[in-house]
Each structure stands twice: as C-alpha cells, then as structure tokens.
Amino acid sequence: MLLYGVLEEMIDGILVITAQGQIKYANQSAQDICQLLTASRSNLPSQIWKVCVALLETQQFLPEQMFILEDEIRAEQAHNLRVRVRRIECEVNEVCLLVTIENRDRNNQSVALAEARRYGLTSRETEVWMLRRSNLSYKAIAAKLHIAIDTVKKHIKNIHAKQQVAMWREPQ
C-alpha cells in the first residue's frame, strides 16, 4: 500500500503495462498525460507504445541484457515529454514494462524557479527566465510579456550577471 501511495505522489507519470500493451497500473500523472495524448485516461498512447515495441524487439535479440529505451515526445499542447521504458517482472513468467514519463516543461519550470531564488532575480526577471528556460526566443518572450525585445535582452543580461555573481560566491 505504501508503494502505491508513493507512486501516486510522483510528479513523473508511471505506467506498468503488459507486453501486449494493456495498462496494469497508471498513476494520476500518467493518466493525465494519456488523456493529453489520446483524449482517454485509460488508453495507451501510440507514441508511448512505439517505444515499448522497440524495447520488446531489442529484448528478443538480447534477452539477457537489461535495456532502458528513451524517447522524446512533443504533444500538440506544447508539452515536451521524455519517455523511458524498461522491462520488469510483474509476476512469475509475466513480462511487463515500466514506463516513466517526465514532463520536461514542468521540470524546466521548477529548475528556473530554483535558479531565480538562488540568483536573487526580480519577479520580472523570473518571468523572463522561466520562458527562456522553456526555449522561447527573445521575440516570443517579448510578445508573451508584452515588452520590447530590447527589454528582454536587458533582463537576460542582468540574469547572466547575477548568475556569475552567484557562481563566484559559491564555495568550490
């Protein structure tokens, strides 16, 4: 019971699926991602199944080796997802696949917020930094925040200066 509680609280999506593609377990995050990709909380998205099939095919040729396959998926709603698949034994003689799905955008936002605190960024610099860490261009950041591109450049320059100061202060 404790294990299920831990899995439910994980930020990453966790799926346990059979070798035939049936979902045996999906935490809340995985259900949300499945719904994002297929409009159904209980269907396995084809993008994820393709990675699973690749792992199963690889395991047929090298059954003694343990592999972890990884792929990037970009959802239409601009979510960048990293999918990792590995083989596990569910029950005696039953092969299952453990699929972890990382929402890269959410992780980038968390990293950007932690960096903003570490560097002592202003609220506006934090907004700019979070968008920049999401790989938005200066032009896209300016449009999203309704500011001039030169203002974005100024904020990025200030952020880099604060990064340098923070690096000098940190013990080596």
In this structure, are 35 and 97 located in the same domain? yes
In this structure, are 14 and 91 located in the same domain? yes
With 90 as the cut, is the pLDDT of residue 170 above it?
Answer: no
Q: Assess if residue 111 is contained within a domain.
A: no
Of residues 152 and 94, which shows the higher confidence score? 152
Of residues 102 and 170, which shows the higher confidence score? 102
40 Cα distance to chain centroid: 20
Q: Assess if residue 110 is contained within a domain.
A: no
The arithmetic mean of pLDDT across residues 151-162, rounded, is 95
| Spatial strand order in the sheet of 68-74 | 23-26, 13-18, 94-103, 80-91, 68-74
Q: Assess if residue 115 is contained within a domain.
A: no
Q: What is the CATH number of the domain that holds 138?
A: 1.10.10.10
In this structure, are 21 and 73 located in the same domain? yes
Domain count, the chain: 2
Structural domain of 161: 120-169
pLDDT digits (tens, 9 = 90+) for 87-118: 998 877 788 999 999 988 788 888 899 999 99
pTM for this prediction: 0.70
